Amino acid sequence: MPRLWDISQPLHAGLPVWPGDTAFAAETTWAHGPGCPVQVSKVTLSTHSGAHADAPRHYDPDGATAEAVDLTRSADVADALDDALPPRVLFRTFERFPADRWVSDFTAIAPELIEALADRGVLLVGSDAPSMDPEDSKDLPAHNAIRRRGLSILEGLVLDAVPFGDYELIALPLALTGLDASPVRAVLRGLPA
């Protein structure tokens, strides 16, 4: 059986979030006890918590929302051909993912690189950074290149333990109606030999 790598951030209190965004919180609303046979919890989080898929609505006021994201974009990574890229490309920019703190000077993706990837048939770009654009960007050039070229985005991936190579990518967003992004449980599966 092919090996699996979970490339999602665990969601927990203290999860680093974009400055000013909603912090993750969880509380028990029903607890096991007399008259209550179950536990039920409530969570509060940003749609951009942990590993997440940006919907086009995040950077385009008229863009598709989270429930309308094309799931085939997150399906699988085909073997790279001699002179071509696979349709989904993930970038590891951190030597070690900063799970315990916010890092403002993360590596963004240049819009020219987005254009070059789209020219070579790439459909989805993912990164371990929290955004494709720098934290202080107001014009979002990488997001806008993605919008213009019709690509999909995964951000906040944890790629520390994954060797360079080709994998099957499974990263399905929740069908959050009308929203700008969705947390995902992102997994890479080794390809059969």
Angle between helices 111-119 and 141-149 in degrees, nearest 10: 20
**Percent of the chain whose pLDDT exceeds 90:** 84
Q: Is the pTM value of this prediction over 0.95? A: no
Give phi and psi for 129, each to the nearest 5: -70, 155
Per-residue pLDDT at 73: 62
Distances (CA, A) of 39 to 12, 13, 25, 28: 18, 19, 16, 7
Q: Which CATH class is domain 4-190?
A: alpha beta
pLDDT digits (tens, 9 = 90+) for 111-155: 999 998 998 899 999 999 999 999 999 999 999 999 999 999 999
Residue range 170-181, pLDDT digits in tens: 999 999 999 999
Q: Is 101 exposed, middle or buried (0-12, 13-18, 19+ CB in 10 A)?
A: exposed
Query: Of the residues 12, 32, 52, 58, which is catalytic?
Result: 58
Q: b/e for 21-55, b at 16 or more Cβ within 10 A?
A: eeebeeeeeeeeeeeeeeeeeeeebbbbbbbbbbb
Q: Where are the domains of the chain?
A: 4-190
For residue 146, the surrounding DSSP H or E stretch is: helix 141-149
Q: Alpha-carbon distance 1 to 168, whole Å? A: 13
pLDDT in tens, 1-44: 778 999 999 999 999 999 999 999 999 999 999 999 999 999 99
Active site residue 58: yes
Q: Which of 159, 182, 180 is nearest to 171 (CA)?
A: 182
